[in-house]
Structure 1
């Protein structure tokens, strides 16, 4: 009998491993830019031939900080690729391209709009203590 669940593709499994490895590199401060420790790797999309990886990241800050982080991550892509290869012991490590992921920013904006649109909950009136 065949299982109806779709098995994970190799690209999905490897993408998740690469996401974790890059996240640890950033968290451990392996890169010289301390602002990059605040980056979160949100998604890794691998090409079917496993030669290219598009890494999505988010960082809290203004547009200038986001652009600077993207530029610095892409500058360090070869170093990051080398470190990922060592940590995961891959025969071939894909070329890495970093792109800012605005989805978390959009989600926060939607949450704020919903919070502003919904009426504030009114506190329950306190029971008056009676003089017995």
Structure 2
């Protein structure tokens, strides 16, 4: 039975188009990174008793090409001193979280987790603040060059 006239072709056509496109458009590390991010979000909300770690938001996960390592980017609303303590607590919880991921993911090897604070949110808010200040001040008007003797 071939793919063109047989049932295999019909099964492919019966899939939702979005599912076909998402599997074609994204690489395996991206898909696994999305899955790791979703599972970590659930684990941080339900399985961790530490209140400082429960307030962490996982923004994205970047997987290595061989799927052995996961760099987990996170953010929190705390100040810098509390942020350092949160980073330390996340490093301590990494082994537990990796074990829980091993029970939930269908992979041969569970990736080693490295937590990195995501500064993009802060940069984004600084840029928005500068743009707002520019908008409030208004655009600087160009100098009137009609009376300038050097332009004649």
Pairwise same-fold verdict (TM > 0.5): yes
| TM-score (normalizing by structure 2) | 0.69
Match of 1:119 in 2: 136
Q: Which has the higher helix share?
A: 2
Match of 2:65 in 1: 48
Separation in structure 1 between the aligned mates of residue 50 and residue 107 of structure 2, nearest angstrom: 26
Matches for 1:34-113 after TM superposition, within 5 Å: 34-113=51-130
Extract unaligned runs of 5+ from structure 1: 121-132
Which protein has greater RCO, CA pairs closer than 8 Å, 6+ apart?
1
Separation in structure 2 between the aligned mates of residue 26 and residue 98 of structure 1, nearest angstrom: 13
Separation in structure 2 between the aligned mates of residue 119 and residue 69 of structure 1, nearest angstrom: 37
Secondary structure of 2:136's partner?
coil
> What CA deviation, in whole Å up to 9, does each residue of 1:23-71 have, x standing for no partner?
111122x112112222111111111111111111011121112211111
Separation in structure 1 between the aligned mates of residue 77 and residue 62 of structure 2, nearest angstrom: 22
Larger Rg: 2
Match of 1:21 in 2: 39
Separation in structure 2 between the aligned mates of residue 91 and residue 17 of structure 1, nearest angstrom: 15
Q: Aligned residues, how many?
A: 116
Give the CA RMSD over aligned residues: 2.0
Separation in structure 2 between the aligned mates of residue 9 and residue 89 of structure 1, nearest angstrom: 17
